[in-house]
Structure 1
Amino acid sequence: MISGVGGFRRSRRRAEEQWQRELLREIRALETTDDSVDVGLDGGTVTPIRGPLPKPPRSRPPRRERVGRVSTDRRRTFATVGVTACVVVALALFNLSPGAAQVRQWLGIGADRLGAAVDGDGRGDYAFLATRRGTDQPIGWSPCDPIEYVVNPDGAPDDWEDLVDEAVTTISEATGLLFDYGGETDDRDFEGRFGIGGRPEPVLVGWADEDEVSGLAGDVAGLAGPMSRGNGLIETYVTGRVVLDQDAFEDLEPAIGTERKQRAIIVHELGHLVGLDHVDDPDELMYAETGVTELGPGDRSGLAILGDTPCA
């Protein structure tokens, strides 16, 4: 009986060992992605077995990724368009070429002209006092702002108001620039036309003699010139002066056609004020020694160009 019980126990132990060995083989056969080391039932270790290799990515990304990328691309496109638009607007604002002025009008930015531009035919001789650096575009007054002026009537002829008004009207119609009369003044500072803080004062029109203004010495009947502000590329006339020789105007009093000649002198000097220089053609009013009393074809061509400069 004893031997029979021992045999049963040995048979049972062999069965348990066989079961453990089969269980161990099954565990070793398992595929796992765990990187840790497992302890076997027999006290040994089981080397981890990596799972199958991941599948290669599909040729088309998941819908969520595609939507995200499209959204990002659209944001980048919108940002690029925005930056481009800002550059265009900046160029239009800071570029003073006639084409850029037209762009500003299309975009609805910047000021508008006060008066209509004048069409010039380009005939005749004309010259400009100054041009913008590196271009053939003349420096001029902003057609979006009036040219403010005041008159000091000391030493002027009795009909000075009519003379000045008619001369200003002539230049305004030839340029499309508008003038704003600020009335009479006792100011006689023909040199410094910038006030406190560099603010431009109105253009000063007045009469003087060579003792007060040395440039009127000799046969000079008048002096005039604009004063600009800017850096060469972006430069605009903002003030100036017109000085008329009171002795020359008095000498013309007895002559036939006095008013016509006096007015012609003022128109000539206002031509300088808006930016015209002398020419060598005696048929033009901007000839240095004025012989004619009306604007010539070259005078009108140059004045039309000066009136069509971009708004400041």
Structure 2
Amino acid sequence: MHRAPRVSGSAWIQLVAALMIAVVAVLSPRFAFGDLEEHTTISDGGTGTVSSEGDPLQAGVATAGVSPAGTGYSIMKVSLNSGKTINARWNPCQSAVTWRANLSGLPKAKRAAMLKTITASFKRLSAATGITYRYQGTTTFVPKTGNLEKAPAEIVVAAVSKSRTDFPMNDNSLGYGGVLWSSWYGGTQGEGAAVMRGYVVLEAKAIQKLKTGFGSGLRQSNVILHELGHASGLEHVKDRKQQMYPTLTTASPSGFARGDLTGLKKVGRSAGCIAVPGYAGLKDLN
């Protein structure tokens, strides 16, 4: 959303990084982890770029900045072992998706207001997806490319300096968000995939320059909602009327727009439950 956010004129960077394979017993499913990320920036009307990068060892690749004509939404995809492609999404039937906040990059006097905005944003996300999100307190954890499996909650929202993470945020960056998913195949479960972790990094200095409260335009809430969209499996879109457009502008919508809501529904409870095989590689946080 703005670069001071990176929403520089428009740019969000999507990165597809990959973590590797873990094999359970001979008759058990095999698991692979994939990381799909999005960079948010802010812009003054300049032109931003969106790039996609993938690890050759990972089957899952996401494409940023593209949405089917007229839909107003685009969903991250996971490529399964068979070659089939499915939407990257949480299991909407789990009791709750847990989340924690790290607001250490903000002045103490501003943390309560930011937490209130983040909490309200999760409520809007829940209304759109039908998924329950449960707050579990604050944390000192900062999402990075190599530590997502160790996150203390399924989603961590961190308002910190961009220097504290290794995600490719630049001087114009406002935020960065994405998901860590697990795919499996073999055994009695067949094949499938589910999101296991989500994360949002807000550039602390940049986001403080935006308006507080909910509404249209250059607001903190719109950056948070945009990044939570990525943490739910949504990609960037070309429709400027949607919250998932890769640039925060004075014309950014108030909250999720029609296309955003359609996309969130497709990765939410109405899409059905996901039967995730038992796997000890990620701690059960429910």
TM more than 0.5: yes
Letter in 2 for 1:161: L
2:201 counterpart SS class: strand
Secondary structure of the residue that 1:225 maps to in structure 2? strand
Cα distance in 2, alignment partners of residues 230 and 135 from structure 1 = 12
Quote the offset at 1:268 in angstroms.
Answer: 0.5
Aligned residues: 189
- The structure-2 alpha-carbon separation of the partners of 1:256 and 1:172, relative to structure 1 and needing over 3 Å to count, comes to closer
Q: What is the TM-score when the length of structure 1 is the normalising length?
A: 0.54
Task: Report what 2:173 is aligned to.
Answer: 220
Counterpart selection for 2:228 from 242, 245, 270: 270
Once the two structures are superposed, residues 10-68 of structure 1 have per-residue CA deviations (whole angstroms, 9 ceiling, x without a partner) of xxxxxxxxxxxxxxxxxxxxxxxxxxxxxxxxxxxxxxxxxxxxxxxxxxxxxxxxxxx
Residue 210 of structure 2: aligned partner: 252
String of CA shifts for 1:186-241, please: whole Å, max 9, x gaps: 2224331223xxx9853211112232235231222100111011237411001121
The corresponding residue for 1:128 is 75
Look up the match of 1:173. 127
How far apart are the structure 2 equivalents of 1:223 and 1:261?
16
Give the gaps of 5 or more residues in structure 2: 1-28, 30-68, 186-190, 276-286
- The one-letter amino acid paired with 1:208 is V
Please tell me whether the aligned partners of residues 252 and 262 of structure 1 are also in contact (alpha carbons under 8 angstroms).
yes
The answer to whether structure 1 residue 304 and structure 2 residue 274 are counterparts is: no
Equivalent runs, 1:99-118 vs 2, <5 Å? none
**Long gaps (5+) in structure 1:** 1-93, 95-121
Amino acid at match of 1:204: V
For 1:98, the equivalent position in structure 2 comes to: none
SS in 1 for 2:266: helix
1:245 is displaced (CA, Å) by 0.8
Deviations 1:70-124 (A, max 9, x none): xxxxxxxxxxxxxxxxxxxxxxxx9xxxxxxxxxxxxxxxxxxxxxxxxxxx973
Flag the structure with more relative contact order, 1 or 2, with Cα contacts below 8 A and sequence separation at least 6.
2
* C-alpha contact (below 8 Å) 1:167/1:267 kept by paired residues: yes
Measured at CA, do residues 170 and 132 of structure 1 come closer, stay the same or move farther in structure 2, by a change above 3 Å? farther
Partner residue of 1:236?
194
CA contact (8 A) 1:280 1:287 kept: yes
The whole-number CA distance in structure 2 between the counterparts of 1:149 and 1:287 is 24
Greater helix share, structure number: 1
CA contact (8 A) 2:102 2:139 kept: yes
Flag the structure with larger Rg. Answer: 1
Letter in 2 for 1:126: Y
Instruction: State the one-letter code of the partner of 2:93.
Output: C
% identical aligned pairs: 24
Match of 1:292 among 253, 265, 274: 253
Length-normalised TM-score, structure 2:
0.59
Q: Which has the higher strand share?
A: 2
- 8 A contact 1:132–1:234 mirrored in 2: no
139, 144, 157: which is aligned to 2:93? 144
Q: 2:149 aligns with which of 167, 175, 194?
A: 194
- Give, in whole Å, the separation in 2 of the partners of 1:211 and 1:184: 20
